[in-house]
Structure 1
Amino acid sequence: MSFNNRKFSINRQTGVPRISAKADRRFSSHEPSPQETNSKIHRQFRNAHEGHRPHAGLDPTRASTGVVWCTERAYEHGFAEEPEKWANLGQGAPEVEDHIEGSFERPKMIDITMAGREYGPTAGIKGLRAAVANLYNAHHRKGKRSQYTYENVCIVPGGRAGLIRIAAVLNNAYLGFFIPDYTAYNEMLSLFKNFAAIPSPLAESDGYHIHPNKIAEEIARGTSVILTSNPRNPTGRVVKNPQLAEIQDICRDRATLVMDEFYGGYNYTSNCDGTTISAADNIEDVDEDDVLIIDGLTKRFRLPGWRIAWIVGPKEFIKAIGSCGSYLDGGAAVPFQEAAIPMLEPDKVLAEMKALQRHFKVKRDYVVKRLRDMGFIIKTVPDSTFYLWLDLEGLPPAIADGLNFFQACLEERVIVVPGIFFDLNPSKRRDLFDSPCHHFVRFSYGPKMDTLKMGLDGIERVVAKFKHSSSVAVK
Structure 2
Amino acid sequence: MNKGAARLKEVKASKIRAVSDKANALEALGRPVIRFSTGEPDFATVSPIKQATMQAIEDNYSHYASNRGDLKLREEIAKQVECHHGIVYDPMEEILITSGGSEAINHVMLGLINPKDEVIVCTPAFLSYENMIHMAEGVFVDVPLKKENGFQLNIEDIKEAITPRTKMIVMNNPCNPTGAVYDPASIQALCELCIQHDLLVFSDEIYDQLVYDDKTCTSIAAYPSMKERTIMMNGFSKAYAMTGWRLAYLCAPKELIEPLLKVHQYATTCAPTFIQVGVAKVMNEEKTRQEVKEMVKRFDQRRQMVIKVLKEIPKLDFVIPQGAFYVFIDVSKTGLDGQQFADALLEEKGVAVVPGNALGSQCDDFIRLSYATSDENVMMGMQLIKEFIKEL
- One of 47, 55, 67 as aligned partner of 2:16: 67
Aligned pair in 2 of structure 1 residues 328, 75: CA closer, same or farther (>3 Å)?
A: same
Distance 1:279 1:156 in 2: 21
Q: CA deviation at 1:258?
A: 0.1
**Aligned counterpart, 1:94:** 41
Q: Give percent identity, aligned residues only.
A: 23
SS in 2 for 1:231: coil
The answer to whether the 8 Å contact 1:136/1:148 transfers is no
Q: Does structure 2 conserve the Cα–Cα contact (< 8 Å) formed by 1:230 and 1:261?
A: yes
8 A contact 1:179–1:199 mirrored in 2: yes
CA distance 1:277–1:162, shift in 2 (3 Å): same
Matching residue within 160, 165, 186 for 1:217: 160
Tell me whether 1:279 sits opposite 2:220 in the alignment.
yes
Matches within 5 A, 1:7-406: 55-57=2-4, 64-76=13-25, 78-80=26-28, 85-97=32-44, 106-107=49-50, 110-111=54-55, 112=57, 116-141=61-86, 147-172=89-114, 173-193=117-137, 195-219=138-162, 222-252=165-195, 254-270=198-214, 275-282=216-223, 284=225, 286=227, 289-345=228-284, 351-395=290-334, 397=335, 400-406=336-342
Using the TM superposition, give the Cα deviation of residue 292 of structure 1 relative to its aligned residue in structure 2, in angstroms: 0.6
Structure 1, unaligned stretches of length 5 or more? 1-50, 424-434, 467-475
In structure 2, relative to structure 1, the CA distance for the partners of 1:226 and 1:57 (3 Å cut) is closer
Matched with 2:388 is 462
Separation of aligned partners in 2, 1:114 and 1:358: 34
**How far 1:250 moved relative to its partner?**
3.0
Separation in 2, partners of 1:438, 1:211: 20
Superposed displacement of residue 451, structure 1: 1.5
Bigger drift between 340-349 and 438-447 goes to 340-349
- Cα displacement string for residues 192-214 of structure 1 (whole angstroms, at most 9, x for unaligned residues): 12x32222222233222113444
Q: Give the structure-2-normalised TM-score.
A: 0.89
Residues 317 and 331, structure 2, Cα contact 8 Å, conserved in 1? no
Give the corresponding residue for 1:428. none
Name the aligned partner's letter for residue 40 of structure 2. Answer: A
Deviation, 1:265, is 1.2
Residue segments in structure 2 that go unaligned for 5+ positions in a row: none
Contact 2:105–2:128 under 8 Å retained in 1: no
CA distance in 1, matches of 2:251, 2:287: 20
Number of equivalenced pairs = 384
CA apart distance, 1:324: 1.6
Separation in structure 1 between the aligned mates of residue 107 and residue 224 of structure 2, nearest angstrom: 22
CA contact (8 A) 1:139 1:346 kept: no
RMSD over aligned Cα, in angstroms?
2.7
With normalisation by structure 1, the TM-score equals 0.74
Q: Report the 3-state secondary structure (helix = DSSP H, G, I; strand = E; otherwise coil) of the residue aligned with 2:23.
A: helix
Q: Do the aligned partners of 2:329 and 2:369 also contact (CA within 8 Å) in 1?
A: yes
Q: 1:362 to 1:419 in 2, by over 3 A?
A: same
Aligned residue type for 2:194: C
Structure showing greater Rg: 1
Task: Evaluate the alpha carbon distance shift between residue 148 and residue 216 of structure 1 in structure 2; reply closer, same or farther with a 3 A threshold.
Answer: farther
Q: Is the 8 A contact 2:107 2:263 kept in 1?
A: yes
Q: Which structure ranks higher in relative contact order (CA pairs < 8 Å, sequence separation ≥ 6)?
A: 2
